[in-house]
Structure 1
């Protein structure tokens, strides 16, 4: 019997079990948390007060630092917050854990895992899937559903008829998974329309919940999560979401299995939340208490200490130009591999104890190494590989997050310090072998004229696995100051693919018309396997540029939308984003910091934009963007025969 869905219920959890049909099962699971008082006699009255209202048991529990004497309090989580205000020195554990995760982890269960199947098994169970697209009267601020289309079902016309037929179809087809474009908008609207028209809402097998919208700060930027209707007993995935875009349905289902969260949540949570949930699940499974508040947050330090310890990753700027016979040696999940190899965890630094972080990240890392190799032959594994990659990427940043349950700034700094040493060692090995290092960036080095055995030697000396990409040629673009841009380059791999990093075609804010133009230009460059052939493409490249330059005046304005993430909803200075925000508000759109908006520039000088159904564009403004895209590609052609020696 497969656990398809799980969520908290009153004084327990609801499991949806998938056999021939899905059925709900309620299981009682009382809330409780753990508490340790450094001086319990000082707080005897508080303990007595708790015992008069709740069940309280003396207990010994484990933390990553060792055992603690304390109490298990069978009370709602909100009681822990009250205790925290009355006794700030009290150490509270397991007080903010999702009830369903605690239930699953403490019993060694997880979602979407067959009986006796290991959580790290790559096979995903067969589920009944339905995919559809919902049409609206207005994509910006929809008020009416105009159509629903899929391979199995299609209807348009009157809204009531559309929704009635769709709910009837959903009820009879009874899918386990619904993949829906803009599901987080459409599902809520369908619910409201069903209530208005008196139609049974069958998108959920049981009841449903609402996930609140949320603006949050992450890696130097404000981001936003939309509100969502979460069905019970069925998985609803928004195909426009980050998770589906990056790792698809299989990645979403696999992360649900790893984290103890329902797939409805893993499809909407960030990779940082997923790796945090995985850590909490593993702690609970091992009987380790999870701290309510991190008690060793980073303290203010002198600038001299920061300069010594907090240097980040090593970057060697490339000299701008075009290079032949280049190899890129890229360490596989370098920072997680360092955590595992060097046994880095808050409780293991300086004492050699087996660390919690290194222990739980090891199976993830081993699995990532496996999926990275497998996906080349089996595309079905690509989604799981992408999900693992994102979780492992964020696990490093999470060690330095001030509220991380199992983080430590000391661990964070030790990881980057070891990473710098490994990169320097790799550069030394390259130079010893007579190979020229032309660029290095955090977890990879670019070398010219490698003898072919460098990767194996680096792996042997550092103890970390690496991947090698060989280029016919590669171009490193300059910054405005003339120095090389570390993360802006492109090149032709020996397998015939173009690798693009940091160019306009890879940016999410690039209009589709400009993206298509640059991708066509890069496609032309694939014909050149040498820098001599590259230099001969100037006329052909210019012809592509001129064709798009002239066609722009007659192109569909819908191809010129610019996507931006807003950090605020009001602006004091006039700008394109400020104008777009004003237009969105006029259209009745509710805005929050971190949301992405789209607009077409109608008149750049007057900062006039259109946020829907644009009729014209500022041709001169977009031609400048086209020229910028052209110059990025032209750089390789123009500099092909004058590359640095």
Structure 2
């Protein structure tokens, strides 16, 4: 089966792997297909649009076919249009959409990427038939940004100089003949070709055939309140390009996990690597729709049913949470529902076409909301059930397997499926989801709240109390003066009651739930503790935050280990004093004080003199401009300044730092460790200020 697809001169090149490389098959007869329908399946209007379409140069043929335009619709007539050039699909669709008044025509199967479209329409699942060979190429980001490429690292070997760069890459490609090029940044593609042109190296090529093409330009987007950056995407012939600056699945899983999703979604590996979780889930859903003879709408026109004010109030709520009991707790067990939201969807048959269905308007199935659920099997449970079952099987095998290579493969596949299952719930409320509906989102939450309340009652009746609970996880500790049911038996009781498996995830010797910074209320996602296998777990605190400098992360872990060893705030403060002394004596390497942040604006758009603004401006001044959504790394050298001199970029390799600024960061990290014991930053500062004799522990 081909694993990579290129488009050359209007034809498709399908690349098949061989034992010693790859070979391309040219497919000349392929045409892309879209469909046009009307709300009432009006044959006369379809005939009219067919005549108009036949006049467009890009359309090769038209025909009326029977397709379903929704999961609860019977098959009806739609107009099929075969388009000779795949890059003309959007133009043809936009032309049809402009005919008549809005809603006159509805279009289907329009906005597919070209490689996915080809695989879907020709029934190809692009899974490679042998192991893939990879070559990795990296370069300093500041050199790429300044268009001054002088250094690259090829499979761990660093070379300097333009001639050496081109020769080393060519030699490595010839030696390995890779199927995958793993790049630190896609910016490397045009830079390397420009360098080859400048040096007169006409033989240089990254692909198995000459040249490269740009598939998409860079862009900025906003998702869940955060600004992101999507770099330009490129393609070379016969090889998969992985841009490690723009890949979620590659980072969160591994090649085995990605290939598992290639098989499930039909997305070629190159596309899957840059695709979002939502795009991958949509591709899986599209395959299931095709199996049911259902077309994919171009633009969603799902309406939201009328709701009373009371229904809106009851429905517009998230998952249930039990506020964390702030403090230091011993003998705590973490219990997790296995894929809670996906299992709710599957076991209760929640799907866009089953919630508030027309055929059962009088049913009251969803607790607290009064929504009906159709008993006829929905498409969404059919999508998710194989994923749940396969992940359960993988997890069972992982518990029994000791072979390292097999474990790596299974862990990658398990993680890949996990991310799809994690996103399937929220995706139902996403306005651009091809197959989604806000009522599904609301119904899932309603059932989840009931399940957690039922679990709470069972736990308490069996001698346990909840110290924290969020979404699908519960932390419990024995109730004083009560007899406790064993955790494993407890999980079985809850599983039998709610019909979704509750698992014993971990036992903690102790766990600490952190309060909010300016409140005594518990922070829902900030805690740390030591499991009974002596492994420390950290969630939400500074050592888990990407922007936290390495020195602060390492110090915070040290403080937690000190707390574990001595259970004494004073001893933790003594350890903190030693790290503060390191800062004050300039004993900390500036590489360990680098802060990495994501920009939300262009440099000139910042109106306040913040560190972020200083970093963005300084990068621009040095020819290293960053776009919104991209990251910039810096060291704070003078936090009292209001100019770009406040910071130094990490690429400048600063040799000094602002001691007071980093002291404040250390105190904040220490507060996260000691606030569960009632010590706030001021208490820590007071204790250290009152010390007259240095504790020996800081020198140990």
TM-score (norm 1): 0.89
Asked if the contact 1:32/1:73 (under 8 Å) is kept, the reply is yes
Cα displacement (A) at 1:544: 3.2
Aligned to 2:261: 255
Matches within 5 A, 1:107-506: 107-114=122-129, 125-134=130-139, 138=143, 141=146, 143-150=148-155, 154=157, 156-180=159-183, 182-199=184-201, 200-206=203-209, 207-210=211-214, 211-240=216-245, 241-298=247-304, 304-349=310-355, 350-375=373-398, 377=401, 378-449=407-478, 451-452=485-486, 453-468=489-504, 469-479=506-516, 480-506=518-544
More deviation in 380-389 or 201-210? 201-210
Alpha-carbon distance between aligned partners in 2 of 1:233 and 1:629, rounded to the nearest angstrom? 49
Cα displacement (A) at 1:629: 1.1
Cα displacement (A) at 1:625: 0.6
Alpha-carbon distance between aligned partners in 2 of 1:556 and 1:141, rounded to the nearest angstrom? 27
Q: For 2:99, which of 86, 92, 95 is the aligned residue?
A: 86
Any idea what the Cα deviations from partners look like across 1:231-279, whole Å, max 9, x if unmatched? 2322233445443332123223332332222222222222222212222
Aligned: 1:564 with 2:597: yes
Asked if the contact 1:4/1:234 (under 8 Å) is kept, the reply is no
Aligned: 1:542 with 2:573: yes
Q: Kindly tell me: are residues 201 and 342 of structure 1, through their superposed partners in 2, closer, same or farther at Cα, counting changes over 3 Å?
A: farther
Cα displacement (A) at 1:631: 2.1
Cα displacement (A) at 1:209: 2.9
Cα displacement (A) at 1:139: 7.4
Aligned to 2:685: none
Alpha-carbon distance between aligned partners in 1 of 2:529 and 2:145, rounded to the nearest angstrom? 38
Q: Kindly tell me: are residues 304 and 408 of structure 1, through their superposed partners in 2, closer, same or farther at Cα, counting changes over 3 Å?
A: same
Cα displacement (A) at 1:359: 0.6
Asked if the contact 1:137/1:146 (under 8 Å) is kept, the reply is no
Cα displacement (A) at 1:186: 2.6
Matches within 5 A, 1:9-158: 11-20=10-19, 21-27=21-27, 28-39=29-40, 40=42, 41=44, 45-53=48-56, 54=59, 55-62=61-68, 63-66=70-73, 67-75=75-83, 76-77=88-89, 78-87=91-100, 88-89=102-103, 90-114=105-129, 125-134=130-139, 138=143, 141=146, 143-150=148-155, 154=157, 156-158=159-161
Any idea what the Cα deviations from partners look like across 1:98-117, whole Å, max 9, x if unmatched? 34323323454312254xxx
Cα displacement (A) at 1:563: 1.6
Any idea what the Cα deviations from partners look like across 1:321-341, whole Å, max 9, x if unmatched? 111121111112211221111
Asked if the contact 1:580/1:609 (under 8 Å) is kept, the reply is yes
Any idea what the Cα deviations from partners look like across 1:108-131, whole Å, max 9, x if unmatched? 4312254xxxxxxxxxx4222334
Any idea what the Cα deviations from partners look like across 1:2-22, whole Å, max 9, x if unmatched? 422124555553211002220
Asked if the contact 1:101/1:261 (under 8 Å) is kept, the reply is yes
More deviation in 28-37 or 545-554? 545-554
Cα displacement (A) at 1:428: 1.3
Q: Kindly tell me: are residues 563 and 288 of structure 1, through their superposed partners in 2, closer, same or farther at Cα, counting changes over 3 Å?
A: same
Asked if the contact 1:12/1:26 (under 8 Å) is kept, the reply is yes
Any idea what the Cα deviations from partners look like across 1:344-402, whole Å, max 9, x if unmatched? 11112233222111111111122222334444542332222222222221221111111
Q: Kindly tell me: are residues 435 and 575 of structure 1, through their superposed partners in 2, closer, same or farther at Cα, counting changes over 3 Å?
A: same
Alpha-carbon distance between aligned partners in 2 of 1:147 and 1:351, rounded to the nearest angstrom? 59
Alpha-carbon distance between aligned partners in 2 of 1:143 and 1:375, rounded to the nearest angstrom? 47
Alpha-carbon distance between aligned partners in 2 of 1:470 and 1:417, rounded to the nearest angstrom? 29
Asked if the contact 2:562/2:575 (under 8 Å) is kept, the reply is no
Asked if the contact 2:616/2:625 (under 8 Å) is kept, the reply is no
Aligned: 1:577 with 2:612: yes
Alpha-carbon distance between aligned partners in 2 of 1:499 and 1:303, rounded to the nearest angstrom? 43
* Structure 1 counterpart SS, 2:430: coil
* Structure 2 counterpart SS, 1:360: helix
* Structure 2 counterpart SS, 1:341: helix
* Structure 1 counterpart SS, 2:186: helix
Task: Give ranges in structure 1 of 5+ residues lacking alignment.
Answer: 115-124, 640-645
Asked if the contact 1:36/1:91 (under 8 Å) is kept, the reply is yes
Alpha-carbon distance between aligned partners in 2 of 1:462 and 1:247, rounded to the nearest angstrom? 31
Task: Give ranges in structure 2 of 5+ residues lacking alignment.
Answer: 356-372, 402-406, 479-483, 680-700
Q: Kindly tell me: are residues 42 and 138 of structure 1, through their superposed partners in 2, closer, same or farther at Cα, counting changes over 3 Å?
A: closer
Cα displacement (A) at 1:483: 0.8
Asked if the contact 2:6/2:238 (under 8 Å) is kept, the reply is no
More deviation in 206-215 or 39-48? 39-48
Alpha-carbon distance between aligned partners in 2 of 1:191 and 1:304, rounded to the nearest angstrom? 62
Asked if the contact 1:136/1:143 (under 8 Å) is kept, the reply is no
Q: Kindly tell me: are residues 543 and 373 of structure 1, through their superposed partners in 2, closer, same or farther at Cα, counting changes over 3 Å?
A: farther
* Structure 2 counterpart SS, 1:236: strand
The CA RMSD over aligned residues, in Å, is: 2.5
